[in-house]
Amino acid sequence: MDFLRPASWEEALAAKAEHPTAVPIAGGTDVMVEINFDHRRPEYLMDLNRIGDLSEWEVGEESVRLGASVPYTAIMENLRAELPGLALASHTVASPQIRNRGGVGGNLGTASPAGDAHPALLAAGAEVEVESVRGARRIPIDEFYKGVKRNALAPDELIRAVHVKKADGPQQFSKVGTRNAMVIAVCAFGLALHPATRTVRTGIGSAAPTPVRAKAAEEFLNAALEEGGFWENGKIITPSVAKQFADLCSASCNPIDDVRGTASYRRHAVGVMARRTLTWTWESYRGTRRTTEGAA
Amino acid sequence: MRVNFTVNGRPQEADDVWEGESLLYVLRERLGLPGSKNACEQGECGSCTVRLDGVPVCSCLVAAGQVEGREVVTVEGLADYAKQRACASDACGTSLQNAQQWQAKGDSHTGEGTELSPVQQAFIDAGAVQCGFCTPGLLVAADEMLERNPTPTDADIREALSGNLCRCTGYEKIMDAVRLAAARQGEAV
Ligand SMILES: Cc1cc2nc3c(=O)[nH]c(=O)nc-3n(C[C@H](O)[C@H](O)[C@H](O)COP(=O)(O)OP(=O)(O)OC[C@H]3O[C@@H](n4cnc5c(N)ncnc54)[C@H](O)[C@@H]3O)c2cc1C
Ligand code: FES
Ligand code: FES
């Protein structure tokens, strides 16, 4: 094994082009488990910790550019207002020690269906900025997940940053597990209200071979909210609409039975989380509407 | 490969390090610092917790090569680290001369012969140590939390220690110990 220590992004791209099998290591919270247990013996390990920019973020007009190695702890502490869904999801990852090292770049690199960042990124809307010596491109998050633990990266590409849309409305993240800390999701659900475009977006974790959006459920809900004038009148969402939304979310899952839960439990739990996160975010939307109206 | 880094305030050089080796292995097997424990090697138990540039991490999940040029504090250096922190914030209560004498007594690298840190003493006083395997990781994590948050609520303590498993105590005595350390820290200021 060789240990590569690029000191800059350009060096890292050059090294990855020369050794496409090199395994990047950022927080190491996935890579080191595999090496410690001899599940993986890469020819080259490539340390990304020396590349300072990867641990930085910038808050722009429309979106936040989140460096690939920004640890979950920093997201929780600094980006709660801009990226509430991702901040909530970050807080459910493992333990403080893991959150101090692991980040979204590694979560995307592993592309596990159970990765907690994914439902939040899908719901908020995001693009993954990747680069190789051949050039840079931005992959929409919906096109990033290609299969169980497979993503859209070419062998010579690295993830530089993730551009996540800044929240324009309430967001929620919900996760089912056996305890609060240190738990891989049995399944997870992210939901974001986008009042600016009058749309709702979702993300489901651990209930299909890849993280997915519940597109049919989103379309149904967007139409129902539009038709009933809910965005303007701020009324409570009709229980039948919420139920239909939840059922469609369950239906968009394609789960398996495994040690953490059965497929039918996952489908059920996703429906429950869909209804709850919709209720929570909608209540919060109505609350902000009341305050703005009250102030006017 | 060779790795140069600082451990408990002293420059260290580890030789013949395998590229896939963890920081935990280097500390225990190459530098003679067995305080950090190896129980799971997969980030689940926290018994290998050390501070890397001040930040608590599982040393079993840090590749040795990643610590080149960086600073690590292990449980062996905790007492010294806590002492220096107290003196830096002017609350050490000892004269400079005393502090120097105290330093001369012990070995800041292995921790032998040094006085215990307030958190360590509190763990003993509260009966929070049984088999002791989880203790080093808990001490490092608890000490770091008290540095950041001198007056933690019970929820803060549980959160900060949520990555550290203990199979013996049932955690109640550990909670007591951290509350005790916080209370003593409050009195000292
Ligand atoms: C005890 C424990 C509990 C965990 N609990 C959770 C949990 O609750 N939720 C959860 O989502 N995850 C969990 N994880 C998994 C892990 O912490 C996350 O997936 C984390 O986001 C990985 O980030 P990292 O920086 O540590 O990745 P690394 O281990 O460094 O890398 C992970 C993968 O991504 C690749 N990679 C990293 N950076 C880049 C880059 N810039 N460009 C291209 N490829 C890259 C690596 O080559 C590797 O394949 C847990 C892990 C442990 C050990
Ligand atoms: S040995 Fe590192 S967390 Fe268990
Ligand atoms: S005292 Fe034995 S594991 Fe905690």
Query: In which band, very low, low, confident or very high, does the pLDDT at A86 lie, cut at 50, 70 and 90?
Result: very high
Q: Are A145 and A210 in contact (CB under 8 A)?
A: yes
Measure the CA–CA gap between A94 and A100, rounded to whole angstroms: 10
In three-state secondary structure terms, A129 is: strand
Residue B26: DSSP 8-state: I
Mutate to test the interface with B, among A4, A32, A91 (most CBs of B within 10 A): A32
Q: Which residue type occupies B78?
A: L
Rounded CA-CA distance B59/B49 in Å is 6
In the block, tokens 């504090």 appear at: B73
Q: Is the pLDDT of residue B128 over 50?
A: yes
- Res B113: pLDDT: 76
The domains located in chain B, with CATH, are 3-74 (3.10.20.30)
Distance to chain B for A200, nearest Cα, Å = 32
| CA pair distance B104, B115, nearest whole angstrom | 12
For residue A45, give the amino acid letter: L
Q: Give the residue-averaged pLDDT of A248-275.
A: 96
CATH code that applies to domain A171-295: 3.30.390.50
Question: Can you read off the two tokens belonging to residue B12?
Answer: 């260290």
| Contact assignment for B57 to A101 by CB distance below 8 Å | yes
Contact B46 A181 (CB under 8 A): no
Q: String of b and e for A4-37 (b: at least 16 CB within 10 Å)?
A: bbbeebeebbebbbebeebbbbbbbbbbbbbbbe
Model pLDDT, residue B112: 75
Q: What is the pLDDT of residues B81-114, one digit of tens each?
A: 999 998 887 656 554 444 444 444 456 677 777 7
A94 in Cβ contact with A181 (< 8 Å): yes
Instruction: Give the 3-state secondary structure percentages of chain A, helix then strand then coil, rounded to 5.
Output: 40, 25, 35
Confidence of residue A294 (pLDDT cuts 50, 70, 90): low
Q: Given the CA of residue B129, which atom of ligand 3 is nearest to it?
A: 1
- What Å distances lie between residue B133 and A173, A281, B26, CA to CA? 35, 44, 19
